[in-house]
Structure 1
Amino acid sequence: MPRRRPGALRAEQQRRRVRTGPPPERIHGLSARTSAAIDRVEQLSGDYFIYPGATDRALRRYRSFLAPPGRKPRYPQTSQCCCRGCSFDDVRHARDVLAGVLQQLPARARGELRRQVARLDGAFRARTLPDPFAGQRQWRSDLWWRRRLAGGRDSG
């Protein structure tokens, strides 16, 4: 059986990797490789809330919630609508999206995104208060970010 030349094998691999459409946007604070892995997960995910650009939007929402300086406690706002766009009004939904993406990422990209999210999680824990009645109020009280005291608006 004749052997295939290495150049022919590489050319075949290049054809398989050709992406249709524009390259993925790089997510602020993440490498291009991790951004591409996140884009693949978002493209292939069957979850309604994980769509192209959802991870970037979730990270931006999480950062913006924690951005105001000061020590006053922050209270996540409950979203008025459950559609893809309006649900990001609740920062806890943004954290839900990040958790869903983290579960689907390959190991290397998961580690990089997890480090970003862990830093934000620490700030979230420091800036919000625990809710002792979360088990009765929240539908996902098993998640620690859902067991934080919520208010009407993102205010301190």
Structure 2
Amino acid sequence: MSERTCAEIQRAEREHGDSWAGLWDGLWDGAVEAALRHYRAFLRQPGRYLDLCFPASPHPDSSLVDVANARAILQEALRSLPQPSRAELGRVVRCLDAELRRRTLPDPHACRRLQWHAEWWHRRLYDGEFRW
């Protein structure tokens, strides 16, 4: 990404000073970089279909093991960025989203697991859930 976009991302992360690493719906210093790293690592896994994983560790960065949480952080960053930085990050995220949609399956029972109206990336099958 361009230097301008990177600077805008850092500014947005600093402005969300009430958040900390591991809070899935907030930004912290380095949140976008960490979210992109986890998102890409998830999609580099072998196999036709991938299952999302629930975080298994109390370590703050472990919430990003759940790629849906990483994607939620990216959405928060997109909301916080001005144009054209939003468009530049958006192009990167759209490519990753297309691959996530292609390699994961929708969870027909997500409404039982979720207590809020979640974005599409939270409504994918997780490891150990019913696969049809």
Q: TM-score, normalised by structure 2?
A: 0.85
Q: Which runs of 5+ in 1 are unaligned?
A: 1-29
CA RMSD of aligned residues (A): 1.6
Q: Secondary structure at the match of 2:33?
A: helix
Q: Give 1:35 deviation, angstroms.
A: 0.4
Q: Does residue 1:130 correspond to 2:106, yes or no?
A: yes
Q: Does residue 1:64 correspond to 2:41, yes or no?
A: yes
User: Please, which of 86, 97, 109 is the counterpart of residue 121 of structure 1?
Assistant: 97
Structure 1 or 2, whichever has the larger Rg, is: 1
Identical-pair percentage: 41
Give the corresponding residue for 2:60. Answer: 84
Q: Secondary structure at the match of 2:86?
A: helix
Q: Which runs of 5+ in 2 are unaligned?
A: none
CA 1:141–1:76: 2 relative to 1, 3 Å: farther
Deviations 1:4-26 (A, max 9, x none): xxxxxxxxxxxxxxxxxxxxxxx
In the alignment, the residues of structure 2 paired with residue 33 and residue 84 of structure 1 have an alpha-carbon distance, to the nearest angstrom, of 28
Deviations 1:41-64 (A, max 9, x none): 001113443111110000010001
Q: Give 1:142 deviation, angstroms.
A: 2.7
Give the corresponding residue for 2:79. Answer: 103
Q: TM-score, normalised by structure 1?
A: 0.73
Q: Give 1:149 deviation, angstroms.
A: 0.5
Give the corresponding residue for 1:38. Answer: 9
Q: Secondary structure at the match of 1:52?
A: coil
Greater alpha carbon shift after TM alignment, 46-55 vs 123-132 = 46-55
Paired residues of 1:66 and 1:123 also in contact (CA < 8 A):
yes
